[in-house]
Structure 1
């Protein structure tokens, strides 16, 4: 279990990764995101950042692997499946990308349905 210090370190390292990514230095950004994940492997923003950085660096298969790991960590998060879909599409894996997109949509719809108060449902 990550401590408060681990969570703070992950947050700072992720911010560094985002800054590097915005500066056009995706390989260095990927290193910062990996360090953030090492500090707190449940800091999902770092995982999302790693996927983006690897994709920006042209390391598409590594980006797919990182996105797949993210969907394992957060299987009900539509954004995780969207990240996987984008990486798959960029790598030319169109059939797999469509499946990931469909999964993301289904998860999003499910979340939207559950957000509607039951008393407003038609019975």
Structure 2
């Protein structure tokens, strides 16, 4: 494991602990540090998006979920999160589009697993 990934994971686990303790802002800071250490660490991005969602900071959550989809276009959860976030903002056509994208990606993954 690279040094950057180890540092990112350390920040990620610290963020999980902070959020579990009710310190959302501290968790956000640690998730950001994790992403700064390794911009491709999607677990930290998912955590960050979730904290933003829980705080009703939907624009920041959407931007973070979009970043996940850029890093990993096949991440079903990123598109599911985007669908939920768009729905919370009343952006129904966008929510439906992301929901469909997540469903199709899920089917593709199931088919791929079935062939193995």
TM-score, length basis structure 2: 0.90
- Of 32, 35, 39, 2:33 maps to 35
Partner of 1:95: 93
Listed as ranges, the gaps of 5+ residues in structure 1 are: 119-123
1:55-70 alignment, distance < 5 Å: 55-70=53-68
Give the whole-Å Cα distance in 1 for the aligned partners of 2:45 and 2:25: 15
1:20 to 18, 21, 28: 18
Q: Which runs of 5+ in 2 are unaligned?
A: none
Q: Is the 8 A contact 1:18 1:29 kept in 2?
A: yes
Deviates more, 1:92-101 or 1:59-68: 92-101
Displacement of 1:66 in angstroms is 0.9
Aligned length: 116
**The structure with more radius of gyration:** 1
For the aligned residue pairs, the C-alpha RMSD in angstroms reads 1.5
Relative to structure 1, the CA distance from residue 92 to residue 27 in structure 2 (aligned partners, 3 Å threshold; closer, same or farther) is farther
Q: Deviations over 1:50-102 (max 9, x none)?
A: 10111122211111111111111111111111121222222222221121111
